[in-house]
Structure formats: structure tokens, C-alpha cells
Structure 1
């Protein structure tokens, strides 16, 4: 039986796509992470990395244009 701590320590792959280009809000257009999240990645634990990935995916989702 796995305990929750072993799940939290599983490796989380970086969402980096090597298409780094920051927009006006310091968000990478390639992976969706903010500049602060990119800098934090190396020291972040697996739980935080999953949260960063989830937030990045939300930023990359297309949004409807306002008319």
C-alpha cells in the first residue's frame, strides 16, 4: 500500500518546451509558467511542481475574445 508521502515525492517533469519567450506579464508563451515559477522550479517539491503545472496549463488555455 502506497502512502501519500510516496505519491508526493514522485518526480514531476518540467513543462518546459524550450520555446521560452515571456509576454508582457512575465509568463512564458511556451510552457505557461510565470517567471517566478520558472525560477522556483529547481527548489520546489513535487506537490508544488504539480501546482505550478496546473496553473501553467490554465494560463495556456485559449480564452474567448471580448466583443
Structure 2
């Protein structure tokens, strides 16, 4: 079972905003993430782009995921 995550493997905290440069989460959110239920994770993820934009940070483009069972070659 996978956990919904906004992580893009750019794990550094912006010292001015206290937000992760890659995903926009705070350290407490990152630490609590595995213990959150799906609804709480999705609610936080929905607000991350605006949170990052409001803080003047670059908002990363979402990664596109291939449906399960498809290969990388098209």
C-alpha cells in the first residue's frame, strides 16, 4: 500500500519560510506524515502549491505517474 506524498526528493528546508523547497511541507508535517490518515494528507497536499506561491517559492510541477502495469516504453 502506498502513502500519498508530495515529496519530489528535494528535501531541504528554506530557512526564511520553514517550508521544504521540494514539497512545501513544514518539518512537523513531514515528521507526522506517516501517522496521518489519507484525508489529512490529501487536505495538506491540496494547499501546498498556494502555500509555496504565497511564500515566494517556486512551485514544482507535479510528477506524472503511469498507471500500474504499463511499461516505460511507448
Q: TM-score normalized by structure 1?
A: 0.65
Aligned residues: 54
Runs of 4+ in 1 over 6 A off after TM superposition: none
Classify the secondary structure of the residue corresponding to 1:61: helix
Q: Structure 2: which 5+ runs fail to align?
A: 57-74
Q: Which has the higher helix share?
A: 1
- Indicate the residue corresponding to 1:19 in structure 2: 10
User: 1:7-46, aligned counterparts within 5 Å?
Assistant: 13-24=4-15, 25-46=17-38
Q: TM-score normalized by structure 2?
A: 0.60
- Indicate the residue corresponding to 1:50 in structure 2: 42
CA RMSD across the alignment: 2.2
